[in-house]
Amino acid sequence: MSETEKIRVRFAPSPTGHLHIGGARTALFNWLLARGRGGKFVLRIEDTDRSRSTEEYIESIIEGMRWLGLDWDEGPYRQTDRFDTYKKHIDRLIAEGKAYHCYCTPEELEARRKEALAKGASLKYDGRCKDLKEPVPDRPASVRFKMPQAGNIVVEDMIKGNIVFENSQLDDLIIARSDGTPTYNFVVVVDDVDMDITHVIRGDDHLNNTPKQIHICRALGHDVPKFGHLPMILGSDKARLSKRHGATSVTAYRDEGYLPAALVNYLVRLGWSHGDQELFTRDELIKLFSFENVGKSAAIFNPEKLLWLNAEYIKSTPPDELSELVMPFLIEDGTVTEGSKPGRAYLSRAIATLVERARTLVELSEKLRFYLIDDANIEYQEKTMKKFLNEKTRPYLEDIHAGLASVEAFTHDNLEEIFKSVMEKHDVKLGKVAQPVRVAMTGGTESPGIFEVLDVLGKEKTLNRLQKAINTTTKE
């Protein structure tokens, strides 16, 4: 078996919240490592914290992964389905003298912690139960891992380099609570051992857990996986990333009209680079990604950069594909219904005139509205109507209507010729004629080029809207 075939990486979120930017980036880096090395990507749900883990969060995490296109080869495994496995490993460590029962109550531990804090002493567990020969009657026992105390341990980090921890600073951590439930630092190691995980990529907020987990891994007689700890993502004020910086859940970005490819591209660039290149296809990311180019310092989340990137992806996405992506937003805002969807060809032509102006699918949906609503439902703002649909502009609208009604081929050249003739007749520039027509077509003063708009709307819709505008004009 080749080295690449041995690669097994995992993304193991805790379902105590939705899939957010940090977790999505971690998932993506693991996924790219697996796909780039011909390995396996394992999805595992770390749901042992029953007080905070919810089915809603689990579903949201899986939904976010699927939307981003981060397909997994195995899983999703759930730790709550593996309690029997964890107990077998705990019993084995106790039998081998690598773990022991602890009868100290939470109240006793807290009292000792406060006493040590007052004296400026170490807050470590003092090990008083380590050498007990007999159980303490009528007291539930937790289980502690017997941590080596001599020497040091080196974490060989794929991103940060070698990091040394003194074993004397490591606590005999609890691996099973007094109610029998296993703890995080133990179960993640058992899972990695049982699932043959070769690489563990996660945020550097887990770095202090790594030496403990390495010792447990060795106690279980397993090879230690390679570790990589990603620097944190910070807001523009260098504080830990939060909603106030514009960061939110992956599914919320979907609902705000971001494209998954754009978010994937942005997440990869939060801490990784390939020269000055900004835009990557997914195949390029798989081919080019490596941990040699992952930065060692924290990344700064920039919502404006993400918005710019999304706009670039909208521009480069074929209109036919965008027509499918934008449809749920058109239905949600009531522009169309399930039973009255526009033809795909018409919608694609309309989208082609707007891609340079829309940064999200929500914006695209809003800008498409005038193309899709019934002609009779065009609404004019009062100020706009008074300024552009009045006695002065009525002759322009009537002459444009008459010219377009008589033309057989509704082509760009013919449209332009009719507008020129009206401009010459009234001795005005294009804007004087185009703007009232634009208001008649869209209800507003901003749109793509007037000839583009008319070309998409077609003859019938154009004449209907011109007539409505003419009827709206009133004498002052």
Catalytic residues: 243
- Whether the upstream peptide bond of residue 76 has omega within 30° of 0, thus cis, is yes
Are the C-beta atoms of 31 and 284 separated by less than 8 Å? no
DSSP track, 415-466: HHHHHHHHHHHHT--HHHHHHHHHHHHHSSS--S-HHHHHHHHHHHHHHHHH
Q: Pairing between strand 40-45 and 8-11? A: parallel
Q: How far apart are CA 436 and CA 390, in angstroms?
A: 9
DSSP track, 106-163: HHHHHHHHHHHHHHT---S---TTTT-SSPPTT---EEEE----SSEEEEEETTTEEE
DSSP track, 366-395: HHHHHHHS-GGG----HHHHHHHSSTTTHH
Helix, strand, coil % in the chain, rounded to nearest 5: 50, 10, 35
Q: How far apart are CA 441 and CA 462, in angstroms?
A: 7
Burial, 244: exposed, middle or buried (Cβ in 10 Å; 0-12, 13-18, 19+)? Answer: exposed
Amino acid at 194: D
Cβ-based neighbours of 458, under 8 Å, separated by 6 or more: 410
Q: How far apart are CA 230 and CA 411, in angstroms?
A: 57
